[in-house]
A and B are shown apart, each in its own frame.
Chain A
Amino acid sequence: MPPVEPDERWLTAALSGTPIADESRFVDLALRPCEPLVHAFDRARHSREAIEKARRWWLAAMQSEYESASVFIDMATQLREIASPLDVQTVVLRMAQDELRHAAICARVVEAMGAEAKIPAGPLPRATPHPDCGADESVLREIVHGCCLSEMVNVARLAKSVGEVGDPFVRDAFRLLLADERLHAQFGFHYLESRRPWLDAHPEIARSLGRFLRYGFAALEQRMGAVPLDASPRTEAELAIGLPDLTEQSSTFQETILNASVPGLERFGIEAGAAWRNRSMRPGPPSALDGHSPG
Chain B
Amino acid sequence: MFPDDETIDAPGEVPFVLPKHVRFARSLALVSGAVIGLAAGAAVFGSGCNSCTGICGAYGVQGVQPYDAQYDTPVSHADARADGAGDAGAREVPPDGHAGGGPRPAPHLPADWLA
Contacts and interface: CB of A to CB of B under 8 A. Distances in A.
A and B associate in one complex:
yes
Interface string B66-105: 0000011111011101110100111111111111111111
A91 B105 CA distance: 18
A128 interface: yes
A212 B110 CA distance: 10
Contacts of A278: 82
Interface size class of A (residues with CB under 8 A): 35 or more
Q: What secondary structure prevails in chain B residues at the interface with A?
A: loop
B14 interface: no
A34 B58 contact: yes
Contacts of B21: 156-157, 159-160, 163
A186 B61 CA distance: 12
Q: Is the interface of A mostly helix, strand, loop or mixed?
A: helix
A127 B70 CA distance: 38
Interface in A173-190: 174-180, 182-187, 189-190
A68 B59 contact: no
A180 B73 CA distance: 27
A30 B89 contact: no
A254 B56 contact: no
A236 interface: no
A255 interface: yes
Contacts of B106: 127, 130, 141-142, 144-146, 212, 216
Nearest to B106: A145
B8 interface: no
A229 B81 contact: no
Nearest to B100: A61
Interface in A64-90: 64-65, 67-69, 71-72, 74, 87, 90
B102 A184 contact: yes
Given A131-B108, A175-B57, A255-B74, A261 B29 contact: yes
8 contacts: A69-B102, A162-B58, A186-B34, A186-B36, A193-B33, A218-B85, A255-B74, A260-B30
